[in-house]
A and B are shown apart, each in its own frame.
Chain A
């Protein structure tokens, strides 16, 4: 397909701007641009067709099943979008006087109450724009807390080996050394290894729960107790909150701070990679360090007394927060039903596949489960990547692959609660057919997909000879 630049014809374009109704006055000449800027020159019709063609070459939740593990690709309710687009929100200037944005601040205050109730925490900052940004925020809160207590020597964050890559990367950004904690044979935190690494340098522990193999750590309260005993704080990575929402509250089981991915658990769409929103909830003793300005009395914006500053220029991704608020109004106190059906759907698929596909940790899973294809790969040379690509020909978005790192040839499947039994059955059928092909016609799996707009792409060439932009003549 052509790039929009290749459809551009000099002199074409669209009339958006009116003639100037005041005398033209520009900054002085030597400050003005001489360089040519290549932008498309294209009619509205041609441009519309270009993007419609691109849309047809994309796959969203509305296009079909999207069991991308760890990403919680649930249905994005239309009402969320409608509410976020109301002029009363979308047309507000962030620096309007407080008394002219009463509704917006009331919404945020109420959303904060909802999220506090769901997590058990005492306060929420909406300053972070995405999940990883929320992690970074939470770690800075932990750092500010230790520094405030004169314990700046605590410079290690413990991160289990099954963690998302964002955890150690966030620890580095917060100036921490990340120390890896091993998983045990059950796929959960190895308590002995944890104990061996706790000490006077421990600033905290970052834990994803349920973890990235889809398991709820049975020792979780023991883990948080041990970390607290060593003087560290406990950070809950809320990426997988959908599994336990309404059933477990992170604060109740010993966590001090948590980020949530509103674009996962709270149904705001992911937009092809963002924007998300990653509010960070904390216990009272971290409140003095919270970032950003908030307006709770409707009169003036205030900052916490020992605030770490701010994570974004204004108040985070406000319109995304409107969508999450709308969602929570809809669901109300029945949030546990989300976790129930998410966990049911995952276990249903796991149970229906485990006779043929090796399950990494064969026990009741939470909202997702992991297939470890390694034994099959060793026999057939059909890899997790091949299975993922074969699913494309069934119109199914593949699971997350090659993660978590502790499972070889991993396929991580998260159906979410908004899928029907029929959809799951169709996907199970597809997985089973692919399994048959692995043994009867392995090359057909290795050469998949065949029905997509492009076939397998050469990642090596892309990285060895980077072309990151269109080159004009």
Chain B
């Protein structure tokens, strides 16, 4: 299990988990509950470049779409293909359901600690 306390957060409601030089990226519990039942995700491909502050993909609920704003700049190393088959995983376990693993991280948006994020969204 992933402890949300150990993650970093963007003001766009994405979380970041560091793994050596790379990072995993997902959306927060707050984001998934605001969006409601998710039905699909659009993800980048491996080797795509992502830019901090810009959309790397999006998530769809029945009646809405929300961009996933990349908290970092870098290159996509891995994509969580499981989410493509079952977007409900994001609703069920937002901190376990990572979207992409990004390497060659060169830049990141201002990130908050878990407490800071809670205060921000509290």
Contacts and interface: CB of A to CB of B under 8 A. Distances in A.
Interface stretch (A68-76, A233-241, A367-375, A459-467): A459-467
A327 interface: no
Interface in A18-58: none
A460 B63 contact: no
A336 to B, nearest CB: 38
A464 B41 CA distance: 11
B46 to A, nearest CB: 25
Nearest to A463: B39
Contacts of A114: none
A315 interface: no
A402 interface: yes
B43 interface: no
A460 B39 CA distance: 7
Nearest to B85: A464
A464 B63 CA distance: 13
How would you classify the secondary structure of chain B's contact residues: helix, strand, loop or mixed? loop
B117 interface: no
Contact of A402 (B40, B63, B88): B63
Contacts, number: 15
B77 interface: no
Contacts of A459: 62-63
B13 interface: no
Contacts of A463: 39-40, 60, 62
A72 B63 CA distance: 23
A402 B88 CA distance: 24
Interface in A425-473: 459-460, 463-464
B87 interface: yes
A463 B61 CA distance: 9
B49 interface: no
A82 B39 CA distance: 45
Interface string B61-81: 011000000000000000000
B12 interface: no
Nearest to B64: A402
A464 B40 CA distance: 7
A411 to B, nearest CB: 15
Nearest to B36: A460
Contacts of B40: 463
A402 B63 CA distance: 9
B29 interface: no
Nearest to A464: B39
B90 to A, nearest CB: 12
A460 B62 CA distance: 6
Q: Which of B39, B60, B87, B88 has the most CB of A within 10 A?
A: B39
A463 B39 CA distance: 6
A463 B87 CA distance: 10
B55 to A, nearest CB: 15
A218 B40 CA distance: 42
B109 to A, nearest CB: 22
A464 B60 CA distance: 10
B89 to A, nearest CB: 11
Contacts of A464: 37, 39, 86-88
Contacts of B88: 464
Interface string B47-65: 0000000000000101100
A402 B64 CA distance: 11
A460 B87 CA distance: 11
Nearest to A466: B39
Contacts of A402: 63
Nearest to A385: B63
A124 B83 CA distance: 49
Q: Which of B37, B60, B87, B88 has the most CB of A within 10 A?
A: B37
Contacts of B62: 459-460, 463
Q: What 9 pairs across the A-B complex have the smallest Cβ distances?
A: A463-B39, A460-B37, A459-B62, A464-B39, A463-B62, A460-B62, A460-B39, A464-B88, A402-B63
12 contacts: A402-B63, A459-B62, A460-B37, A460-B39, A460-B62, A463-B39, A463-B40, A463-B62, A464-B37, A464-B39, A464-B86, A464-B88
Interface of A: 402, 459-460, 463-464
Given A402-B63, A464-B37, A464-B87, 11 more contacts: A459-B62, A459-B63, A460-B37, A460-B39, A460-B62, A463-B39, A463-B40, A463-B60, A464-B39, A464-B86, A464-B88
